Structure 1
Amino acid sequence: MNPKQRVIAFQNVFDILLFATHATEPFTMKDLHDYVLDAPKNTIQCYVQDLIKSGYLEKDSYATYKATQYAKDLLNVKGELVA
């Protein structure tokens, strides 16, 4: 991966992380595609899986995800999910 591609990948992952930490309810891959990244769904899925493995996201249900407290603390986000 060249430096320009690394910057783009970082920006994409950071955009997902910002969306996730500020979300007031669990989100889906479709939400990420519709509101965050205009990228192929398999690309978004790879980013999400990497964020899960790194401890920034977690599955909330079969098809939804949410930010971990670790991710919120890292970005100094105090928001909580609304039930």
Structure 2
Amino acid sequence: MKQFALTLCMVLLSVMFCRAQIKPLKFDKNGEFKIVQFTDVHFQYGNPASDIALKRINEVLDAEHPDLVVFTGDVVYAK
């Protein structure tokens, strides 16, 4: 089940990445373009720290309203 959930997440992330490439990137009326980067989040199913990280990510996105969000580094935890 964990492997299925991880595979599903990876497929959805891939689809979202491909869809993100369709929309041209544009500066706002002030000439600004805000990028938020999350790196090495190490999500692990059932880990309370992952729940906290997800909450913080949502808080940042709600506060900053970025034009582009980038996930880099180690996104998931695996043995």
Task: Tell me whether the two structures share a fold, i.e. TM-score over 0.5.
Answer: no
Structure having the higher strand fraction is 2
Structure ID, larger Rg: 2
Taking structure 1 as the reference length, the TM-score comes to 0.33
Taking structure 2 as the reference length, the TM-score comes to 0.34
